[in-house]
Amino acid sequence: MAQKPTAKKSVADDPRYTQALQSYEAGLRAMQEHKFEKAKPHFQKVVGSSIRELTDRASLHLNICNQHIERSSANQFKSTEEHFDYAVSLMNVGDYVTAREHLDKLLKQSPKTDYVVYGLAAPRIPALRKTTSAKRSQRSFSRGRGSWKRNLLTSFPQERPGANVAFV
């Protein structure tokens, strides 16, 4: 009794699998472009299919899309003052890049608000303080070694303090 070899259908031949795979790929492309609203229905189609290996991955990406959509809707501010307060809170946490992006948006929305311009300058103030304090310490260090005039006159002992010396 010889058994007949049964031809196995590959997964790629299944039209439901190819359709689910195309939806999954379209969702991934939209997600990579940060178009989460557009990617969400594609992943929902895949989750609704019966293909287990794609369903797990699609549900993971669907959760990520939902999180990004929630974050973007959470940044809906009622007023420019509220948006400015949010940007200041980002600066206080140390997220200067995101704070700068929000302040730039605010400046485009309402260019005549002076506190937004101040907010753009505020992150630079600590850097200016460091620079000026470094210059102060250099100045005090040079004072501690003596003034430049005294150093110059001691390097040329033949010159007298009252003589006209041309400095170049």
- Specify which of 32-46, 100-114, 133-147 reaches the highest per-range mean pLDDT: 32-46
- pLDDT, one tens digit per residue, over 42-64 is 999 999 988 888 899 999 999 99
User: Which is nearest to 152 in space by CA: 141, 140, 161, 143?
Assistant: 161
Cα torsion at 106, 73, 94, 89 (round to 10°)?
Answer: 70
Q: Which residue has the higher pLDDT, 91 or 131?
A: 91
Output the CA torsion sign for 66, 72, 76, 81.
positive
- pLDDT, one tens digit per residue, over 79-119 is 888 888 888 888 888 888 888 888 888 888 888 888 888 88
- Give the contacts of 80 (CB within 8 A, at least 6 positions apart): 106, 109, 110, 113, 116
Indicate whether this model's pTM tops 0.85. Answer: no
- Residue located via tokens 């001691």: 154
Compute the average pLDDT of residues 57-79. Answer: 84
